Amino acid sequence: MHQDLSTYLRKKSLNLGLRKLLIYATGILEQAVFPAKCMACGTFFHPAQRQVCSLNEKDVQYDDSFNYIERFTFKKLMSPYLCQECSNSFISVESPICLSCGIMFKSREGEDHICGECITSPKKIRRSCASGVYDKALMAMIHSLKYKGKIQLARPLGMLLFSAFMSYWDKESIDIIVPVPLHIKRFRKRGFNQSFLLVKNWVQLAKSLSINFAHIEIDKHLLLRNRWTQSQTGLGRKQRAANIKNAFSINKSSNIIEKKILLVDDVYTTGATANECAKVLLRGGAESVDVLTLARAI
């Protein structure tokens, strides 16, 4: 009986090894025959440049939950979609930054402080932070997601954003995460809200990292975009503020009294959209409104 079990286990181990070898060989063949095309510059990857990047949360296990920050880097997360040169063009947002709007200061010396714009025109938001600068590879990834329907990018970009959230915020300081909504016409045309897709899997991701996220609610219906507005692209600061004015309302079924809210969007440019959302939320009784975006325009 013992000998039969040993034989069975050896055969099973051998079959498993052969299966893994076959999967590896198939992957190498696919890379050789069907090389990846960079979503930013359009060049084809050399197979040696295509790093393996596991985006399966069940495979992500750490003794220290904060070790994921080293793995959830733009370069690693984007390795299936960008060539090495384009990946290297990513610029992370780093201190010193404005404590209110999150813009990076030109000088790389000194501490975080309030910028001149936020002193003269204070925002309703408490603070704003972003993962990276809105330029080159990050801009290309956001455009591919929003305008080309590459929704497979939402998962790795969402992981990048999750890393920024855990870096900048004490998770206990947030009660509700609210994606900035689209107008129903734009939603129907696009087919999805990119801001919601970025945070859609955060609960499962946090669970896989043994991070307690149970007290945080992700509510995509809390804010409503009740007025159609033209695209903010190409508009100046004052034009953006006028264009977005009175465009949002709170869902009547939502309770935000004394809640600490995190607004999530893809890009922070002048802050007009975020500030308008914050006005509505604060009038509705929210204690505070913070903003997190994938990119910060400079």
Distances (CA, A) of 240 to 76, 189, 193, 195, 265: 35, 22, 20, 19, 16
CA distance 147 to 139: 12
pLDDT score at 46: 65
pTM score above 0.95: no
Partners of residue 261 on adjacent β-strands: 176, 289
Partners of residue 293 on adjacent β-strands: 130, 265
Other CB atoms within 10 A of residue 130 CB: 29
pLDDT score at 95: 93
Show Cβ contacts of residue 100 under 8 Å, excluding neighbours closer than 6 positions: 114, 115, 118, 122, 123, 125, 126, 127, 128
pLDDT score at 72: 84
pLDDT score at 4: 60
Beta strands 260-268 and 176-179 are parallel
CA distance 101 to 114: 8
| 10-residue mean pLDDT series, the chain (298 residues) | 53 59 53 75 67 44 50 89 94 95 91 94 95 97 96 96 94 96 94 97 92 94 87 72 85 93 96 95 97 96
**What are the structural domain ranges in the chain?**
57-296
Query: What is the rounded (10 degree) CA torsion for 277, 94, 269, 158?
Result: -60
45 within 8 A of 37, measured Cβ to Cβ: yes
* DSSP classification of residue 104: B
113 within 8 A of 139, measured Cβ to Cβ: no
pLDDT score at 243: 76
pLDDT score at 235: 67
Q: What is the identity of the amino acid at 117?
A: E
Report whether the peptide linkage leading into residue 96 is cis, meaning its omega lies within 30 degrees of zero.
yes
pLDDT score at 245: 87
pLDDT score at 64: 44
Q: Which long-range contacts (CB under 8 A, 24 or more apart) does 75-78 make?
A: 76/51, 77/53, 77/156, 77/157, 77/159, 77/160, 78/53, 78/137, 78/141, 78/156
